[in-house]
Amino acid sequence: MKGEREIMIEMELKYGCNPNQKPARIFMNKEKELPIQVLSGRPGYINLLDAFNGWQLVKELKKATGLPAATSFKHVSPAGAGVGLPLTDTLARIYWVDDMGSLSPLASAYARARGADRMSSFGDFISLSDVCDVDTATLIKREVSDGVIAPGYQPEALEILRAKKNGNYCVIQIDENYEPDPIERKEVFGVVFEQGRNNLDISRELLSNVVTDVKEIPEQAKIDLIISLITLKYTQSNSVCYAKDGQAIGIGAGQQSRVHCTRLAGQKADNWFLRQAPQVLSLQFVDGIKRADRDNAIDVYIGDEYMDVLADGAWEKIFKVKPPVFTKEEKRAWLDQMSGVALGSDAFFPFGDNIERAHKSGVKYIAQPGGSVRDDNVIETCNKYGIAMAFTGIRLFHH
């Protein structure tokens, strides 16, 4: 920014969660300075909740892995999270970045975060662990998004982002050295809740207590388990997270039943892998189709309702050539090739049915707190499928 930085101790917001909730603002207790600068746009109440939760997530991912990290947030839970490992040619294609050449590590991290569940990431708020570079800004420019938070921006990257949404795109810079007070508070129904911040350090040491017959957890799987656990730390509970090769591939958030989390996240992980199938990669879209329309079309194509779409002829508006039906048998055969998936859970698995569902999505490594009265049943189910499971001894509820 040019000139001296504006010091803010509070920021007035347009409204709260909903337009009828006024007035709204953010501020620091004891009139401390806010740790952010708004460089463009006007963030809203939910934008800032996403920004602050997402920033904590990527800061921890960077610390735990040593790699640039990014996350894509929607409604105070991540739709995806990833670290800056190079993309395979297939991933670059399904994330719609194969035309951008070699991406920077930070841009690769965001491509992974956005690509995990592109439908849920539509209109996301982005958090970046590192200074936003031109590659990352160029990628963000192409996507439908509400805003971004990062510890800094390269000058050219900032200009790219400031031009988005005719200058209304939210660009926030956060002080990367900011540390909040150890006690956090919130008010519900006029009652103040107070607790110590969740400062738990998630590291490889949490994966040392492997309770299954299979004891070996490879280094990449440990990284994936750490990604899943840090992601869960900032996901509305109940929650589970499937991860593979440096990114979340399926997140189930806010369900009352853990097995429903496991099913929801498992379906998202399955969709991520199905998008890599030859049947999907060979789809021929009409010229000029928007990214969101392609994502929606792929979701329909790999879903069970595609026969209905074929029947009414709607495919002609999307595809150049009528695609063949992707049968249930073909989808199952492709999914059976998915393996080496890691799964984290924010609380213990109460029944072996969670493991049965996880196995269908190629899970081979699990990290969960343990402590259920049915731990023996859960361990037995893992042993049946040759899954290595670590008891972390820690719960990661987030509300």
376: its two tokens: 């023996």
**End-to-end Cα distance, the chain:** 35
Nearest to 50 by CA among 126, 120, 143: 126
- 127 contacts 148 by C-beta, under 8 angstroms: yes
Q: Which of 2, 30, 328, 399 is catalytic?
A: 399
Burial of residue 367 (number of CB atoms within 10 Å: 0-12, 13-18, 19+): buried
Give me the phi and psi of 208, to 5 degrees please: -80, -25
Pairwise CA distance, residues 62 & 127, whole Å: 12
Q: Identify whether 74 is a catalytic site residue.
A: yes
Q: Identify whether 238 is a catalytic site residue.
A: yes
Q: Identify whether 399 is a catalytic site residue.
A: yes
Pairwise CA distance, residues 367 & 388, whole Å: 9
Q: Which of 63, 75, 165, 360 is catalytic?
A: 75
Nearest to 136 by CA among 153, 115, 119, 118: 153
Residues 6+ positions from 18 with CB-CB distance below 8 Å: none
Q: Which of 47, 238, 271, 354 is catalytic?
A: 238
Q: Identify whether 359 is a catalytic site residue.
A: no
- 388 contacts 212 by C-beta, under 8 angstroms: yes
Map tokens 């569902």 to a residue: 357
Q: Which of 53, 59, 62, 74 is catalytic?
A: 74
Active site residues: 74-75, 238, 399
